[in-house]
Amino acid sequence: MSASIGKVLLTHEQIVDRCEELGTIISRDYQDKNLVIVGLLNGSVPFLAELVKHISLPLRFDFVRAKSYCGTTMRGKLELVHDLDLDIHGQDVLVVDDILDSGQTMSCIATMMEEKGAKSVRTCCLLMKPDVKKDYEVHLDYCGFEIPNEFVIGFGLDYDELYRNLPYIGVLKLD
């Protein structure tokens, strides 16, 4: 079975414009706070890199890596592969991911940040699917775009680790 791009859902320009808007809002919300951004590897990297360009505050960032997908299907359990290097105790944490679909990863990581003693934990995703809150309690504080319930690739999102480098978001087409 081969894979390709069925259609472009969001252009690079749309993504950059939305990151600028989110950066302005986040800068306002975190003014006079100790902001630590926690990115979820690998998918959040392009979004996080674009987003932080538009945040006009001093900040630190670190990464965690969790696996929950195999191909196009969700695994039952979240596996933490890499934990934080920074001490976030007493810090204001913003967890950043590429997509919120089942809510499993964001829910688990946000809880983990609270358990590590974060002063506050908020969440930010580039994309959100409409059926997200069925299985996990997740509050998304900052959202780039709500998208249809399709498997998407590009701008960090992958299919078997491919297509992350696309500068746009496309719908996966399996042949």
Catalytic residue numbers? Answer: 101
The two most distant CA atoms of the chain are separated, in Å, by: 52
Q: Residue 6 class from Cβ within 10 Å (0-12 exposed, 13-18 middle, 19+ buried)? A: middle
Q: Is the dihedral of CA 72, 77, 79, 84 positive or negative?
A: positive
Q: Residue 16 class from Cβ within 10 Å (0-12 exposed, 13-18 middle, 19+ buried)? A: middle
3-state secondary structure 112-173: HHHHCCCCEEEEEEEEECCCHHHCCCCCCCEEEEECCCCCEEECCECECCECCCCCCEEEEE
